Amino acid sequence: MKVGDRVPVPEQSPEERIKNFNEVALGYTAELAMEEAKRCLKCPRPFCVEGCPVHIKIPEFIKLIAEGDFVGAYKKIMEDDLLPAITGRVCPQEEQCEGKCVLTKIGKPINIGKLERFVADYVRENNLEEIPKVPEWNGKKVAIIGSGPTGLTAAGDLVRMGYKVTIFEALHELGGVLIYGIPEFRLPKAVVRYEIDKLKQMGVEFKTNVVVGKTVTIDELLEEYDAVYIGTGAGTPNLLRIPGINLNNIYSANEFLTRVNLMKAFKFPEYDTPVKKGKKAAIIGGGNVAMDAARTALRLGYEVIVLYRRTYEYMTAREEEIIHAIDEGVKFEFLVSPIEFLGDENGNVKGVKLIRNELGEPDASGRRRPVPIPGSEFVVEADLVVIAIGQKPNKILYQELPDLKVNRWGGIIVDERQRTSMRGVFAGGDAVRGEATVILAMGDGREAAKAIDEYIRTGKWPEQVCS
Amino acid sequence: MFRIVRKETLSEKIKLIEIEAPLIARKAKAGQFVILRLHEKGERIPLTLHKWDPEKGTITLVFQEVGKTTTELGTYEAGDVLADVVGPLGKPTEIERYGKVIVVGGGVGVAIAYAVAKAMKKAGNHVTSIIGFRSKDLVMLEDDMREVSHELIVCTDDGSYGRKGFVTEALKDLLDERRYDLVFAVGPVIMMKFVSKITAEHGVKTIVSLNPIMVDGTGMCGACRVTVGGEVKFACVDGPDFDGHQVDYDELMRRLSMYVEEEKLALERYLRNREVNA
Ligand SMILES: Cc1cc2nc3c(=O)[nH]c(=O)nc-3n(C[C@H](O)[C@H](O)[C@H](O)COP(=O)(O)OP(=O)(O)OC[C@H]3O[C@@H](n4cnc5c(N)ncnc54)[C@H](O)[C@@H]3O)c2cc1C
Ligand SMILES: Cc1cc2nc3c(=O)[nH]c(=O)nc-3n(C[C@H](O)[C@H](O)[C@H](O)COP(=O)(O)OP(=O)(O)OC[C@H]3O[C@@H](n4cnc5c(N)ncnc54)[C@H](O)[C@@H]3O)c2cc1C
Ligand code: SF4
Ligand code: SF4
Ligand code: FES
């Protein structure tokens, strides 16, 4: 084998997998993982580590895998990343660790994500993990709002520093987007539940069905807890402001994925929540959320087309998901923008009117802006439309909280230590960044845990956090 | 754990349950709702708060059996436990001292009207309530309504009890007679639509409580979107109360019928299974 060749990852075949919701990538076996690990050059100055937002000691853990010490490799990863079974599956590796690997210059980079996933799966499936010892309670309490990756990470760190931690979650299930958004075929829910169970065993207390801002307020939490961490995510969907948006069978991606993933509508009527089943689905967007919606619709039996306003290269989804979608038979129409939804006499959507774009000057994000071409309108037929054009922070928490400063689009303003404008209140993850990534949310959680610890120990809070 | 402590049958298809939910009972305000889930396979459905008791830590809901979930909930008895109850959700009804207020409730909506009438009366308003049912055997909460209203008009469509005809006719007569400062209406969409039409003609401010299909109830999914004054709103966080004169009722009715086939299938399957198991 040349150094350029990656050890392939076993997968369910496309024909098979579009009929089920089971995980697509089956993951490395121990032999395959060791083989892939042996390709690593153990660079003295490893660029891969620079590419990882939490700087996992990649060459070191890969070396341990090559030596067959999987538990050792797991421990090495856990020094920087508490949820490797999850990041190994969902990080945009091609832009981060793997994108920086020197081997990209001569071939394919080391499959860091799949190796990370392998060790985490190996340890979990073989029950090799010891639940970390928790020190005696230091007498202080921290409340965390939201059970997504940022809240879970902060909880894991704080509980190991001796704090009593309670996580409040609005939904009836724990895990945030990891549970209600990202589908089973990409991230098995058992993986997320395992991590949550581990935290429970470490003494973290979870309270579901509590909407902070409604059921209890932050001010009330501050009376009982020494600090509060907000990890409420970016849960409010953006919708298109075009005619026909409220026609029946037009869903936000959040609604569509929540019905299917969280409420198990794919098992309707065994489960009570329905989801529309029809023939042709049009998905609007080009990110991970759009890919998840497209592949979910495919598994419900739809013929699926993704409508994206820029070109293939500009799609923000993980590369692996785009490839999987193509292999599964999802069609794409690039350089198009919806201008109207068309309905039938019953008010059900029957098509999307689109206009073609060309790429113009780069916009603020550096990506070339789509510019509509007059007179190029055409219609794509669809009896299901899913809108996946982004999300913003959910304001339910701070509808009546003037003291908490937020920016123009509702993101909570924090300083470099995740401190908000309210004393003792910290925030991170998508609630601050807008729609970002799991690993960045986790990084914020870790940073917040350190800052919370310091604040509680010293009582120091800056005069003014943010102007 | 959300244990049912009391259950009552108010009329053939309408039941009342009192549930242990201390956190919600502490915060509840008139016009707010909860979302509940019966069990692991259940869907999330919204029900409005009828009464609440912060000391006892309970909330009371009144629901009509219309489909699978509400029919199944109808079989739950005191001592049974619901998997999830979350709330109080939505903005509370704006309770102020308006002056003379009419509260209109139709069918199961009367349970919601009760909470609003009570709060309006307490805030110093003169409250006239109009409640309507199809026939005499469906009349419910009459005594409760009388207690929280200065005047009460009970209507039945067929005239078998109280005044004959729709609530809208009684409303029109009141508005023709004198000036009122506010009308609050809750009930079937078609009723709210016609109430709003009449009050618009009389130029009286009107609040309606909308009941679109919901999933999370926290502004996360957009299932509950309604058009109000030409703008898309999420009823669970922007409402459920809206200016009755601005609501697109036809769209709401159409969106409410989105899952009729699925709902029928689910109910039939449930009733069949229940029979087999009995
Ligand atoms: C469909 C989809 C696919 C994605 N795919 C990827 C991917 O492949 N890779 C990747 O890196 N990222 C992906 N992302 C983005 C990633 O999931 C998020 O960046 C990440 O989950 C943010 O974590 P968080 O902890 O900040 O918030 P979330 O995961 O959003 O969790 C927030 C939690 O807070 C709860 N909450 C909100 N308000 C309240 C309140 N008032 N009271 C109590 N609880 C509250 C919510 O119910 C939720 O459970 C995807 C996102 C979506 C939607
Ligand atoms: C804010 C709000 C408050 C409500 N308060 C009450 C109340 O106090 N008492 C009461 O009896 N009913 C109330 N409803 C309506 C109640 O939620 C529905 O009747 C119930 O969800 C029907 O569920 P089902 O499975 O029994 O019927 P289905 O067979 O599923 O549906 C029957 C009818 O209920 C509507 N419906 C179905 N699912 C939902 C859903 N998830 N959310 C809303 N409507 C749905 C459908 O449009 C249909 O017309 C309220 C609705 C809202 C939005
Ligand atoms: S956490 Fe993500 S970026 Fe970092 S090494 Fe793992 S897969 Fe790569
Ligand atoms: S850059 Fe690539 S080859 Fe070098 S240490 Fe990192 S993973 Fe191994
Ligand atoms: S019910 Fe989901 S946003 Fe209102």
Confidence of residue A219 (pLDDT cuts 50, 70, 90): very high
Q: Report strand pairing: B241-243 vs B206-209.
A: antiparallel
Q: State the CATH number of the domain containing residue A32.
A: 1.10.1060.10
AA letter at A313: E
Distance B256 CA to ligand 2 centre (A): 9
Longest dimension (CA), chain B: 58
Confidence of residue A448 (pLDDT cuts 50, 70, 90): very high
In a domain, A149, yes or no: yes
Contact A273 B44 (CB under 8 A): yes
Kindly state whether residues A32 and A154 are assigned to the same domain. Answer: no
How near does any CA of chain B get to the CA of A296, in Å? 17
Q: Encode burial over A75-103: b for 16+ CB neighbours within 10 A, e otherwise.
A: bbbbebbbbbbbbbbbbbbeebbbebbeb
Which of A338, A360, A389 represents a domain boundary (last residue)?
A389
Kindly state whether residues A384 and A401 are assigned to the same domain. Answer: no
Q: Which positions in chain B touch A252 (Cβ < 8 Å)?
A: 221-222
Angle at the Cα of B211 (from B207 to B215), degrees rounded to 5? Answer: 135
> Pick from A236, A249, A269: which is nearest to B265 by CB?
A269
Residue A413 has pLDDT above 70, yes or no: yes
Mean pLDDT of A389-407: 87
In a domain, A136, yes or no: no
- SS3 state at A189: helix
- Nearest CA to B2 among B22, B24, B30, B21? B21
How near does any CA of chain B get to the CA of A269, in Å? 6
In a domain, A218, yes or no: yes
Kindly state whether residues A245 and A367 are assigned to the same domain. Answer: yes
pLDDT the model gives residue A328: 95
Kindly state whether residues A229 and A243 are assigned to the same domain. Answer: no
Q: What is the pLDDT of residues B206-226, one digit of tens each?
A: 999 999 999 999 999 999 999
Interface test with A, best of B43, B45, B227 (most A CBs within 10 A): B43
Q: Are A295 and A185 within 8 A, CB to CB?
A: yes
- Token readout for A220 is 């009330």
Q: What is the pLDDT of residues A9-20, one digit of tens each?
A: 999 999 999 999
Give the C-alpha separation, A332 to A311, whole Å: 10
Kindly state whether residues A430 and A348 are assigned to the same domain. Answer: no
Nearest CA in chain A to B26: A215
Helix H or strand E encompassing B253: helix B249-256
Q: Does A208 touch chain B (CB under 8 A)?
A: yes
Mean pLDDT of B74-102: 96
Residue nearest atom 2 in ligand 5 by C-alpha distance:
B221
Contact B219 A394 (CB under 8 A): yes
- SS3 state at A218: helix
Angle at the Cα of B257 (from B251 to B260), degrees rounded to 5? Answer: 170
Burial of B46 (0-12, 13-18, 19+ CB in 10 A): buried
Q: Which residue has the higher pLDDT, A355 or A2?
A: A355
Residue A465 has pLDDT above 90, yes or no: no
Residue A1 has pLDDT above 60, yes or no: no
Distance A241 CA to ligand 5 centre (A): 18
Residue B14 has pLDDT above 90, yes or no: yes
Residue B174 has pLDDT above 80, yes or no: yes
Give the C-alpha separation, B48 to B61, whole Å: 6
Which of A389, A423, A441 represents a domain boundary (last residue)?
A389
Kindly state whether residues A278 and A347 are assigned to the same domain. Answer: yes
- SS3 state at A354: strand
Mean pLDDT of A359-374: 89
Mean pLDDT of A400-429: 92
Give the C-alpha separation, A334 to A342, whole Å: 20
pLDDT the model gives residue A119: 97
Which of A125, A157, A187 represents a domain boundary (last residue)?
A125
| Residue whose tokens read 């989105």 | B258
Task: Please count the structural domains in chain A.
Answer: 3
Beta strand residue intervals within A245-348, DSSP E? 250-252, 280-284, 303-307, 331-333, 336-343
Residue A396 has pLDDT above 90, yes or no: no
Give the C-alpha separation, B156 to B169, whole Å: 11
Q: What is the pLDDT of residues A169-218, one digit of tens each?
A: 999 999 999 999 999 999 999 999 999 999 999 999 999 999 999 999 99
Residue A3 has pLDDT above 80, yes or no: no
Query: Chain B residues with CB-CB distance to A under 8 A?
Result: 23-24, 27, 37, 41-44, 68-69, 83-89, 215-216, 218-223, 225-227, 232, 237, 251, 254-255, 257-259, 262-263, 265-266, 269
Distance B62 CA to ligand 2 centre (A): 12
**Pocket-testing residue among A182, A283, A315, A320, ligand 1, by greatest number of atoms within 8 A of Cβ:** A182
Kindly state whether residues A304 and A402 are assigned to the same domain. Answer: no
Give the C-alpha separation, B270 to A378, whole Å: 44
pLDDT the model gives residue A365: 81
**Residue B70, φ and ψ in degrees, nearest 5:** -70, -30
Q: Are B270 and B65 within 8 A, CB to CB?
A: no
Q: Are A410 and A461 within 8 A, CB to CB?
A: no
Q: What is the pLDDT of residues A226-249, one digit of tens each?
A: 999 999 999 999 999 999 999 999
How near does any CA of chain A get to the CA of B14, in Å? 21
In a domain, A467, yes or no: no
Give the C-alpha separation, A453 to A140, whole Å: 10
Residue B31 has pLDDT above 60, yes or no: yes
Kindly state whether residues A72 and A112 are assigned to the same domain. Answer: yes
Confidence of residue A2 (pLDDT cuts 50, 70, 90): low
Q: Which of residues 267-296 of A touch B (CB under 8 A)?
A: 268-274, 276
Alpha helical stretches, state H, A260-365: 288-299, 319-328
In which domain, by residue range, is A329 found?
A: 239-389
- SS3 state at A369: strand
Kindly state whether residues A432 and A318 are assigned to the same domain. Answer: no
How near does any CA of chain B get to the CA of A224, in Å? 15
pLDDT the model gives residue A130: 87
- Nearest CA to A190 among A179, A203, A200, A202? A179
Mean pLDDT of B56-70: 96
Residue A4 has pLDDT above 70, yes or no: no
Sheet with A303-307, edge to edge strand ranges: A250-252, A384-387, A280-284, A303-307, A331-333
In a domain, A166, yes or no: yes
In a domain, A378, yes or no: yes
Residue A467 has pLDDT above 60, yes or no: no
- What average pLDDT does chain B have? 95
Q: Encode burial over A356-370: b for 16+ CB neighbours within 10 A, e otherwise.
A: bbeeeeeeeeeebeb
Kindly state whether residues A313 and A358 are assigned to the same domain. Answer: yes
A357 strand-pairing partners: A372
- Token readout for A300 is 């419900």
CA-based torsion, A451, A456, A457, A463: positive or negative: positive
Q: What is the pLDDT of residues A285-332, one digit of tens each?
A: 999 999 999 999 999 999 999 999 999 999 999 999 999 999 999 999
DSSP one-letter code for B247: B
In a domain, A212, yes or no: yes
Q: Are A215 and B88 within 8 A, CB to CB?
A: yes
pLDDT the model gives residue A226: 98
pLDDT the model gives residue B77: 96
- Taking residue B83's Cβ as centre, other Cβ atoms within 10 Å add up to 16
pLDDT the model gives residue A441: 96
Q: Are A117 and A345 within 8 A, CB to CB?
A: no
Contact B251 A246 (CB under 8 A): yes
Confidence of residue A466 (pLDDT cuts 50, 70, 90): low
Q: What is the pLDDT of residues B121-165, one digit of tens each?
A: 999 999 999 999 999 999 999 999 999 999 999 999 999 999 999
pTM of the model: 0.95
Confidence of residue B12 (pLDDT cuts 50, 70, 90): confident
Kindly state whether residues A49 and A183 are assigned to the same domain. Answer: no
pLDDT the model gives residue A188: 96
- Tally of helices (H runs) and strands (E runs) in chain A: 17, 16
Q: Does A395 touch chain B (CB under 8 A)?
A: yes
Mean pLDDT of A449-453: 97
Mean pLDDT of A336-340: 96
- What average pLDDT does chain A have? 94
A77 lines ligand 3 (CB under 6 A): no
Kindly state whether residues A217 and A260 are assigned to the same domain. Answer: no
Residue A464 has pLDDT above 80, yes or no: no
Contact B87 A172 (CB under 8 A): no
Beta strand residue intervals within chain B, DSSP E? 2-11, 14-20, 33-37, 45-53, 58-64, 81-82, 84-89, 100-106, 126-133, 151-156, 163-164, 182-186, 206-209, 225-228, 231-234, 241-243
Q: State the CATH number of the domain containing residue A272.
A: 3.50.50.60
- Token readout for A87 is 């990041």
In a domain, A33, yes or no: yes
